[in-house]
């Protein structure tokens, strides 16, 4: 594969700048250390002791699910295995045989090896635990060597357009769509509120977002404690003077604010991606974010009287022309 056949490693340089997926990827990549690139492979012991790959930073069963999806498209899988196998050196093939038990080489052998390690056909929990996780725990930081058979192959194929598009669609259908569903289940429909729940979904929805169906909620961390109603907007948050916003519309924006603040307190800090979410979706309705401290950022601001954007997201994968 020539360099001309590869897309840029940074998804934000590939996606249409007017697409929702572009903006969401930029938000999740707000911190340079996030390194959400197509070709990512790492295993950092002890701080991040998992085989982690791709622009979605997938681990464990998510890796198996991603490769299952790649395998579902016969042409994508053919391209993947042919290019991957052609990229491996003699030493890499010997390493491949030692780790997978597969002696056959070429695209067919590579496919069998990926099946034996990644549970490509049947990405069920027992296979992931017995095959993928055990294999990864043996290789460990060996994945950080770009000559390792898996790392060399993934870095070669992950930026092909079809594999990159599959990664983006897999990310969108996973954490993004799950976040949208989670937001709607909580009565949240503004873009800012949905983006905050998506962020929580990426971190672990049960521990970083209030539950479904509750009428009030509370969160505390590091001496900071907040309690919010989810059915009434406090007077201190209402716009000053006359406003064209109905009580129901203002309540929508209030729930979005609660989602942002709940996540921030649950994490005990204001993450860069939450700052980006505020800038993109909250600032026009709630004013600038007070970044001085977590306590200041989660004080109740006053609504400016302009409704938050509640247009639904469209996470279609659209490459820039």
Q: Are residues 192 and 231 in the same domain?
A: yes
Considering the domain architecture, whether residues 178 and 291 belong to the same structural domain is answered as: yes
Helical segments of the chain, H only: 20-28, 60-72, 74-87, 90-100, 106-118, 125-127, 133-139, 149-157, 161-171, 177-185, 191-203, 205-208, 247-267, 272-277, 283-286, 294-297
Give the whole-angstrom CA distance, residue 296 versus residue 289.
9
Q: Say if residue 131 is in the same domain as residue 198.
A: no
Q: What is the pLDDT of residue 119?
A: 98
| Residues 196 and 154 grouped into a single domain | no
Shared domain check, 132 and 179? no
- In a domain? residue 10: no
Q: Which residues pair with 15 in a beta bridge?
A: 319
Give the chain's domain count: 2
Q: Which of 129, 158, 187 finishes a domain? A: 158
* pLDDT of the residue at 97: 98
pTM of this structure: 0.91
| 302 falls within a domain | no
Looking at the fold, whether 147 and 176 belong to one and the same domain comes out as: no
Return averaged pLDDT per consecutive 10 residues of the chain, 321 residues in all: 77 96 92 82 92 96 99 98 97 98 98 98 98 98 98 97 98 95 98 98 92 98 97 97 92 99 97 96 98 96 98 97 88
**DSSP label at 227?**
E
- My answer on whether 60 and 144 are in the same domain is yes
Residue 37: predicted pLDDT:
95
pLDDT for res 30: 81
Residue 181 and residue 279 in one domain: yes
Q: What is the pLDDT of residue 1?
A: 60
Show the domain range for 56: 39-158
The per-residue pLDDT for 32 is: 67
Q: 131, 118 in Cβ contact below 8 A?
A: yes
Beta pairing class for 224-229 and 216-221: antiparallel
């Amino acid at each position: 594969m020539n360099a001309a056949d590869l897309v840029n490693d940074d998804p934000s340089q590939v996606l249409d700048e007017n697409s929702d997926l572009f903006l969401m990827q930029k938000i999740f990549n707000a911190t340079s250390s996030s390194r959400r690139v197509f070709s990512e492979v790492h295993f950092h012991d002890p701080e991040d002791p998992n085989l982690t790959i791709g622009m979605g930073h997938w681990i464990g069963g998510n890796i198996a699910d991603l490769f299952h999806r790649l395998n579902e498209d016969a042409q994508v899988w053919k391209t993947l295995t042919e290019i991957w196998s052609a990229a491996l050196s003699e030493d890499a093939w010997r390493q491949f045989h030692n780790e997978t038990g597969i002696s056959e080489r070429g695209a067919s052998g590579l496919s069998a090896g990926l099946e034996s390690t990644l549970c490509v056909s049947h990405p069920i929990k027992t296979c992931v635990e017995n095959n993928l996780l055990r294999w990864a725990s043996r290789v460990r930081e060996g994945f950080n060597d770009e000559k390792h058979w898996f790392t060399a192959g993934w870095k070669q194929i992950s930026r092909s357009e079809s594999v990159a598009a599959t990664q983006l669609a897999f990310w969108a259908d996973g954490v993004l769509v799950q976040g949208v569903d989670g937001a709607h289940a909580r009565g949240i429909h503004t873009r800012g509120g949905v983006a905050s729940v998506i962020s929580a979904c990426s971190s672990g929805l049960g521990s970083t977002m209030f539950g479904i169906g509750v009428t009030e909620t509370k969160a505390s961390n590091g001496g900071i404690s907040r309690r919010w109603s989810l059915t009434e907007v406090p007077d201190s948050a209402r716009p000053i003077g006359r406003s064209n916003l109905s009580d129901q519309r203002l309540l929508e924006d209030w729930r979005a604010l609660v989602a942002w603040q709940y996540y921030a307190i649950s994490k005990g800090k204001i993450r860069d991606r939450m700052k980006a979410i505020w800038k993109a979706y909250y600032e026009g309705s709630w004013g600038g974010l007070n970044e001085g401290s977590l306590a200041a950022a989660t004080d109740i601001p006053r609504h400016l009287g302009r409704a938050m954007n509640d247009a639904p997201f469209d996470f279609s994968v659209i490459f820039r022309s």
